[in-house]
Structure 1
Amino acid sequence: MAASCVHLAFLLCFMIPATIASPRSLRESPADASWPTTFFEVDRPLRPPSGSSGPCSTLLLSTSFGSTFAKPPATAAYSPPRCLAAAGGRASAISLAVLEWHATCRGAQLDRTFGVWLGGAELLRGSTAAPPPNGIVWSVSKDVTRYASLLAAGRSTLAVYLGNLVNSTLPGVYHANVTLHLYLRRAPATRPPPATAPADLVVPVSRALPPNGGGLWYQIQSATDVQSTSVALPSNTYRAVLELYVSSHGDDESWYTNQPGYRNGPFREVTVRVDGVLAGAAWPFPVIYPGGIYPLLWRPVAPIGSFNLPTYDVELTPLLGKLLDGKAHEFGFAVTNALDVWYVGANLHLWLDPGSTTTTAGLTSYVAPPANAASSQSGDPVDTHYQATANRTFSATGWVKSSYGNITTNATQTFGLEYTLTFETLDRTTVARAGVSATDHAGGVLYTEQTRRSFPLGWIYEQGRLTVTHGLDETTVAAGRWWTGPGYRSVRITQSSVVEDEEGGGKAWGVRQAYRYEATDGCYLRNVTSSGYGVVSDHSNKVCVKGGAVRATSAGDGAVRAALPAVAGAGKAAGLVRN
């Protein structure tokens, strides 16, 4: 086997790329090549709470991205919309804030990474689609209510970076509009419950623009690379949460498919350090970009999380004892086993005590053993099996004394990875659990939140057919005297994409995706099937039926894996592939 074929993640390169190289093997144009194709990521609509007014919509920026790689971002002056000022200008007047990215591109182009920042705080990171020659159009809507204090703070600068390269082969220029939609509370805004409402202050932990431009994210280029910056916290902080943005590129774009012993293996962990001490971690969701693995798999339905990359919260409240001394502290980021390059950035969400100018805090327990990772390889030289496992636990407890009393906060994280790779198949699942609980001096629960995420990913290649299954299963249970949001919230997404050889050397492809959101305040179902560039069916419902095939429950990882074959098999029923 040639050296370039050692990495099975590149789609068993001696079997598939022969068809990739043939121009007639790709159906690059829909039936009507004069119209752009609408690409989309399956998601739920964002609806404001009852009694809200709006939307009040403001176009923040409209620009084009041609040859923009390593150049400064496009910028625009930002001021809070007039409707917010008319409502008193307070962040608490915002019931829902939605940031909309709408873009078009005519002409062939690759998928590119973009980011949106306000005052240096990252609001959105995503990938563009990989457009066919006839062009594309797509939109992303993200709930940015948690940045309400930033949106209401006053004049600032909006920055948008999209590193695009244009040449005779890839002439596509991306044209983008960024719009903010605000929904406001009709009743006079009152101060929301402490600690669980949007933070009083959002502090960017991002890179200053270098002279040659680029995005505001840190670039992690190796397993030993640590990027950091100094931040001083306000003296009256009583809760702190670090929100992480991460994405993999270059040599590590498809890290999640690496076989053990190749390109540092399939395990990656993003660690957060405060003054060099581990403060928490994130095990990234395996985001597949729209041009990843095999581009036809994601046309027109984009891979899960690719247009709106997920973020990861790290609870820092137990560590406030070392952060409230009035001095600047180093916040650092690293990626275990990283290759060049990872983009990492963060926002520090801080809750401030309105009843005092100074809070005091202390750490009572801290447990952070090293992550465990192991791998093995079968001895069969023909049908080699690779296996890998990893796990990590973290726990910290601390107290904070403020005008709300003496509050003890416990934060925990546990992670696990199972990975198996053979010549024809990949099967991996990451499970991440995070918990935070805050109690008063008498032991009463002020708020508690437990979240479980599962990220299954697999593929199988047989008889000229490649099937990639992808999923996200997230469940959150929350309660307490200060908690006002949904007590239960579950999102379960399964996606199966198929591409296979046709007689005459062409390709047929299609996607089947099921989306289910279920919470104490409502639910939403959506099932989409596509064939080629066309959508065969798209059904949605606001009513969840108990006992459904993809019912959101507290079931274990087996439930997620059991759902995936059924979704993949639906491709045949929809006529996506042929027997």
Structure 2
Amino acid sequence: MSASSASSSLLLLSLCLALLSHFAAASPRPRDLRFSAEDIAAVEAALPLRHRRSSGTTFFEVDRPLRPPKGSSGPCSTLLLSHSFAFTLTKPPVTAAYSPPECLLEAGAVSLAVLEWRAECRGVQYDRIFGVWLGGAELLRGSTAEPRPGGVAWSVSKDVTRYAPLLAAGNATLAVYLGNLIDDTYNGVYHANLTLHLYFRRAARSSSPQPAAAADAIVPVSRSLPLNDGLWFVVQNSTDVQSARLAVPPNAYRAVLEVYVSSHYADEFWYMNTPEQNGPFREVTVLLDGDVVGAVWPFPVIYTGGINPLIWRPITSIGSFNMPTYDIELTPFLGKLLDGEHHELGFKVTNALNSWYVDANLHLWLDGKSSKTTGGLVAYDAPKLAGSIVSHSADGIDGEYEATASRNITATGWVSSSRGNVTTTFTQRLSFANTNVVSSHGSAQAINQTTDALTSVSGGGAQAQQQVHQSFPLYIFLGGDGSGTSSQRLMRRVEIGFEEARSGAVTSTLRNRQAAAAEVTLRDDAVVGASWRMHQTYAYGASDGGCYLRNVSSVGYDVLFDHRDASCAGARGR
């Protein structure tokens, strides 16, 4: 992504003029996956008059609305930060002093905490990545929308209830980094407001199953201020290990590491890489004193300027405004962490090219009835990553590239506390398959990829037990027709999904799918037309009564229909 580097233009290659001839001459695969400012201006000028309006456009990421539990009071809303991000690249994050809102000190238990980011931008600008940290712990990571000439606005609402101990703690520093570049071409300034909305529990809890309680303490695993960048670690290649030393409180009885990860620059489109670019497989490994204790196989977030920015207007790509995080259960390893010493917690990215932004939050549950807990590792098995990549190409350009990978990690450990002697087992079963077909002398590329991840936690008490099954299907086609003639069409198709099934104290399912396409028509090397469409279905259901269905479709900037159902009557029988 072009978020935080003055050299971003090296990646953001022109897609329109003379694109098809560039494919065969420069690369065995299409790498022109972003529009330049000139390209965007040409496309906007070729749109019908009704789309070339001067007023702003609202972009949105489809997600379920956040509603407090029944019986909650609120919201109590506090503006945390208001700032205009102009030339902020290589400059320190914007900071503000944070103290718990008065209502939090007075009202007691939080039933829901929502962090809301609202922003707008007018002019010319690329999408940029931004991050929000409180006391060094990351709360939100997302990309900005790419603005239109008439301006663009968008908002993000994230459930941050799990960060309750940070929100209630004493004085802390809120830090926001958005690496924006202003020059003669790119003049868009991002104006953003960050607000915290709190809801409080005033009714007695029901007897129905409740989600796991928030941790008692959160230890950030990130870089420390002051610095001229985000607080994330920057992993630059496949041998680079970024780490931090930390110690845990002596009375911890459970530990969960929440990992934030995003890909940029040469690895922004890692899933399209052929063998000479280290292939299409990427894995973020979590290392404890050098040993692999967990792995993240990331969802392929496509930023709002990626592949073809038209596709993500006005419905943005899954996870683009609110990137997913990934939990690694470290409870089996608490015996090592409870020795009173500092330990090295690190991150490495398999096959990485420059660069990946990674940091994490260590969520800790503490024994309020004991000053010290003890533990030990019973069993641990983390065989080396298994994988292969096979190339079938007669000329080094056209061909088929197949990549597979699999990983199994299992750890069992015990912790003795006032809760008794509890044994916890953490298991990961991960698989990956990618097929990349390059054809038409390098001018067309088709990607089929599936990531499948099964993570389970057993033992550890009823609230800790859970199983999470995630699947990330991805299909991308890039091509065109009419090469060598005065009239050409440049085509892009993307089908992507985020599917998840959770079981535990609360059982839930999510099926989030997008299917989109865009075409740009050239005549005599000039853009004369563009069209794009998007269809997205979102279906969520949970055993605690939570439910949300949404079916939305757009053509160009027009939303054709947007059907929503929070009662989920339409889901019966599915």
Match of 2:474 in 1: 457
| SS of alignment partner, residue 171 of structure 1 | coil
- Report if the CA contact (8 A) 1:20-1:26 is conserved: no
Task: Give the share of equivalent positions with the same residue, in percent.
Answer: 55
Match of 2:9 in 1: none
Question: Cα deviation per residue 1:175-226 (whole Å; 9 max; x = unaligned)?
Answer: 0000000000114899x99993100001111101355x11101110111111
- Report if the CA contact (8 A) 1:8-1:258 is conserved: no
Instruction: Give the Cα–Cα distance (whole angstroms) in 2 for the partners of residues 248 and 364 of structure 1.
Output: 35
- Report if the CA contact (8 A) 2:520-2:531 is conserved: yes
Q: TM-score, normalization: structure 2?
A: 0.87
- Report if the CA contact (8 A) 2:84-2:190 is conserved: yes
Are 2:496 and 1:470 aligned? yes
Q: Aligned-pair distance for 1:522?
A: 2.5
Write out aligned runs for 1:263-278 (5 A): 263-278=277-292
Amino acid at match of 2:452: V
Match of 2:145 in 1: 129
1:401 to 413, 416, 426: 416
Match of 1:542 in 2: 566
- Report if the CA contact (8 A) 2:549-2:565 is conserved: yes
Q: Aligned-pair distance for 1:323?
A: 0.6
Write out aligned runs for 1:121-520 (5 A): 121-187=137-203, 196-209=212-225, 211=227, 213-259=228-274, 261-381=275-395, 383-423=398-438, 424-439=445-460, 447-460=464-477, 461=479, 464=489, 465-478=491-504, 483=505, 486=506, 488-502=507-521, 505-520=528-543
Question: Cα deviation per residue 1:51-86 (whole Å; 9 max; x = unaligned)?
Answer: 100111110000000000010111111111111111
The ranges of structure 1 where at least 4 consecutive aligned residues each deviate by more than 6 angstroms after the TM superposition are: 192-195, 546-549
Instruction: Give the Cα–Cα distance (whole angstroms) in 2 for the partners of residues 535 and 195 of structure 1.
Output: 35
Question: Cα deviation per residue 1:218-258 (whole Å; 9 max; x = unaligned)?
Answer: 11011111111110100000000010001111111111111
- Report if the CA contact (8 A) 2:46-2:530 is conserved: yes
* Higher normalized contact order (CA 8 Å, seq sep 6+, divided by chain length): 2
Amino acid at match of 2:515: S
Instruction: Give the Cα–Cα distance (whole angstroms) in 2 for the partners of residues 321 and 537 of structure 1.
Output: 54
Q: Quickly say closer, same or farther: Cα 1:339–1:30, change in 2 above 3 A.
A: farther
Q: Aligned-pair distance for 1:25?
A: 7.2
Q: Quickly say closer, same or farther: Cα 1:378–1:201, change in 2 above 3 A.
A: same
CA-atom RMSD in angstroms: 2.5
Q: Quickly say closer, same or farther: Cα 1:495–1:30, change in 2 above 3 A.
A: farther
Q: Aligned-pair distance for 1:373?
A: 1.4
Instruction: Give the Cα–Cα distance (whole angstroms) in 1 for the partners of residues 547 and 211 of structure 2.
Output: 26
Question: Cα deviation per residue 1:320-368 (whole Å; 9 max; x = unaligned)?
Answer: 1111011111111111111111111100000000110000100000000
Match of 1:557 in 2: none
| SS of alignment partner, residue 272 of structure 1 | strand
Q: Aligned-pair distance for 1:462?
A: 6.2
Are 2:98 and 1:83 aligned? no
Match of 2:14 in 1: none
Instruction: Give the Cα–Cα distance (whole angstroms) in 1 for the partners of residues 474 and 209 of structure 2.
Output: 39
| SS of alignment partner, residue 276 of structure 2 | coil
Aligned residues: 528
Higher mean displacement: 372-381 or 247-256 = 372-381
Instruction: Give the Cα–Cα distance (whole angstroms) in 2 for the partners of residues 548 and 3 of structure 1.
Output: 54
Write out aligned runs for 1:94-113 (5 A): 94-113=110-129
Instruction: Give the Cα–Cα distance (whole angstroms) in 2 for the partners of residues 36 and 107 of structure 1.
Output: 11
- Report if the CA contact (8 A) 1:127-1:307 is conserved: yes
5+ residue gaps, structure 2: 1-22, 439-444, 482-488
Match of 1:6 in 2: 28
Question: Cα deviation per residue 1:24-46 (whole Å; 9 max; x = unaligned)?
Answer: 57657863522111011011100
Instruction: Give the Cα–Cα distance (whole angstroms) in 2 for the partners of residues 40 and 462 of structure 1.
Output: 29
Q: Quickly say closer, same or farther: Cα 1:531–1:411, change in 2 above 3 A.
A: same
Higher mean displacement: 201-210 or 327-336 = 201-210
Amino acid at match of 1:309: M
Match of 1:531 in 2: 555
| SS of alignment partner, residue 554 of structure 2 | strand
Q: Aligned-pair distance for 1:6?
A: 2.0
5+ residue gaps, structure 1: 552-579
Are 2:65 and 1:45 aligned? yes
| SS of alignment partner, residue 104 of structure 2 | helix
Q: Aligned-pair distance for 1:272?
A: 0.7
Q: Quickly say closer, same or farther: Cα 1:229–1:43, change in 2 above 3 A.
A: same
| SS of alignment partner, residue 49 of structure 1 | coil
Match of 2:442 in 1: none
- Report if the CA contact (8 A) 1:361-1:398 is conserved: yes
Match of 1:554 in 2: none
Instruction: Give the Cα–Cα distance (whole angstroms) in 2 for the partners of residues 51 and 547 of structure 1.
Output: 26
Q: TM-score, normalization: structure 1?
A: 0.87
